[in-house]
């Protein structure tokens, strides 16, 4: 080998070695960085992806489909005029001119059958002599009251004119509602027909002591005003899941609706029989505190010959559970009993003189008020 070329060969070898070493180090570094990045990606939580995109017009679409079967209820009732100072001085001609005054009111409702049955609130149509139904297409019909259920504040009307092809509401299932679910209310607040408001389900199974009904309400923040009563609360599938009934006057957007599942059995009985047959056990009761610091219900009176009396229930018995569910007040008892059909057995857990025991009470039909035993 020529000694002159030796330095060149050594320099070339050293250069190749250094280049190879540099490539190796760069490759290791890249591999480490890739591993770190991959590990970071794997550890990041995955966000839930909606199966379908949200339709920005969904409220408008539901409202548009619903309006044909939502109705405005207009009614007239007759009330006596206030007593005037003229009455005390014998001005009979003045009294003759003031026989009665006409009171005009109204509310909302929705069509539940093609032949013209309409569901609304009892307080909307109570004591009304002249009822008019206005539809979305500006058609107007006369209607009559088929029946009113005082315990749930529900009423069924029937369009008097023979009809067979009216638009009908889609009835949903209120048992599957979720708190936070979007809903819309459609009705005629303050006479403004076909008004739509939106909100969410704020709470379920809400007990409202100020309302004289045995109903566990749906609470919503969809705006409800006078005139909305009897109108539908609708989910985003376009199904009726409640009947708008009341608001909290001293709050903002706290409204209450009767669950549609409660209404289903009521309106079907009213249509068939004109009234609702309810189960009865025949007791009077009041709320009391018990030794564990909670509340229960004490029996104050057992009607003679009632289902409770036949089963051995006695005055001063304390009802703590019904069918295994804790009882806190009288409404709990009412709701528990009314969930059962007539002739069904209900198990009561009671305390009698400090001793725990169980009684099975078979419900009977609630008698008419005039036929109940007198105290």
Exposure class string for 79-113: b at 16+ Cβ within 10 A, else e? eeeeeeeeeeeeeeeeeeeeeeeeeebbbbbbbbb
The token duo for 5 is 């070329």
Alpha-carbon span 299 to 178, nearest angstrom: 36
Catalytic residue among 188, 202, 229, 306: 229
How many Cβ atoms are within 10 Å of 263's Cβ, its own excluded?
23
Give the list of residues 6+ apart from residue 361 with CB closer than 8 angstroms, or none. Answer: 281, 307, 308, 310, 311, 313, 345, 346, 348
* Cα–Cα distance list, 347 to 162, 268, 322, 362 (Å): 47, 28, 6, 9
Catalytic residue among 66, 108, 113, 153: 153
Phi-psi region of 125 (alpha: psi -120 to 50; beta: other; left: phi over 0): alpha
DSSP 249: T
Q: Which of 329, 149, 346 is nearest to 243 (CA)?
A: 149
In the block, tokens 């032949």 appear at 115
Is 153 a known active-site residue?
A: yes
Catalytic residue among 66, 113, 123, 306: 123
Number of H helices and E strands in the chain, helices first, is: 7, 21
Alpha-carbon span 368 to 81, nearest angstrom: 34
Exposure class string for 114-127: b at 16+ Cβ within 10 A, else e? eebbbbbbbbbbee
Alpha-carbon span 244 to 194, nearest angstrom: 14
How many Cβ atoms are within 10 Å of 34's Cβ, its own excluded?
10
Is 123 a known active-site residue?
A: yes
What kind and span of H or E run contains 283? Answer: strand 283-289
For the annotated catalytic residues, the residue numbers are 123, 153, 229
């Amino acid at each position: 080998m020529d000694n002159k070329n030796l330095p060149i060969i050594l320099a070339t070898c050293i250069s190749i070695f250094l280049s190879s070493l540099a490539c190796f180090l760069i490759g290791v570094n890249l591999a480490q960085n890739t591993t770190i990045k991959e590990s970071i990606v794997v550890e990041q939580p995955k966000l839930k992806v909606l199966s379908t995109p949200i339709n920005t017009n969904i409220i408008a679409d539901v409202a548009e489909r619903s309006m044909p079967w939502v109705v405005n209820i207009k009614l007239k009732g007759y009330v006596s005029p206030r007593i005037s100072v003229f009455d005390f001085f014998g001005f009979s001609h003045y009294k003759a001119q003031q026989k009665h005054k006409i009171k005009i009111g109204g509310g909302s409702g929705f069509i539940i059958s093609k032949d013209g049955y309409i569901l609304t609130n009892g307080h909307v149509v109570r004591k009304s002599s002249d009822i008019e139904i206005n539809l979305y297409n500006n058609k107007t019909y006369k209607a009559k009251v088929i029946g009113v259920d005082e315990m749930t504040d529900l009423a069924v009307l029937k369009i008097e004119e023979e009809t067979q092809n009216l638009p009908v509401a889609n009835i949903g299932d209120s048992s599957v509602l979720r708190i936070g679910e979007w809903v819309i209310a459609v009705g005629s607040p303050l006479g403004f027909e076909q008004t739509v408001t939106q909100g969410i389900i704020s709470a379920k199974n809400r007990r409202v002591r100020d309302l004289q009904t045995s109903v566990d309400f749906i609470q919503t923040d969809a705006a409800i005003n006078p005139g909305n009563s009897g109108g539908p609360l609708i989910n985003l599938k376009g199904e009726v899941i409640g009947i708008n009934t009341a608001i909290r006057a001293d709050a903002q957007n706290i409204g209450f609706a009767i669950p549609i599942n409660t209404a289903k059995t009521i309106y079907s009985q009213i249509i068939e029989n004109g009234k609702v047959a309810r189960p009865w056990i025949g007791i009077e009761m009041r709320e009391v505190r018990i030794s564990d610091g909670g509340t229960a219900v004490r029996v104050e009176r057992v009607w003679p010959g009632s289902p409770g009396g036949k089963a051995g229930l006695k005055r001063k018995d304390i009802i703590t559970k019904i069918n295994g569910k804790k009882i806190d007040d009288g409404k709990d008892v009412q709701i528990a009993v009314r969930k059962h059909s007539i002739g069904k057995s209900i198990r009561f857990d009671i305390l009698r003189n400090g001793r725990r025991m169980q009684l099975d009470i078979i419900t009977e039909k609630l008698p008419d008020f005039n036929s109940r035993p007198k105290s």
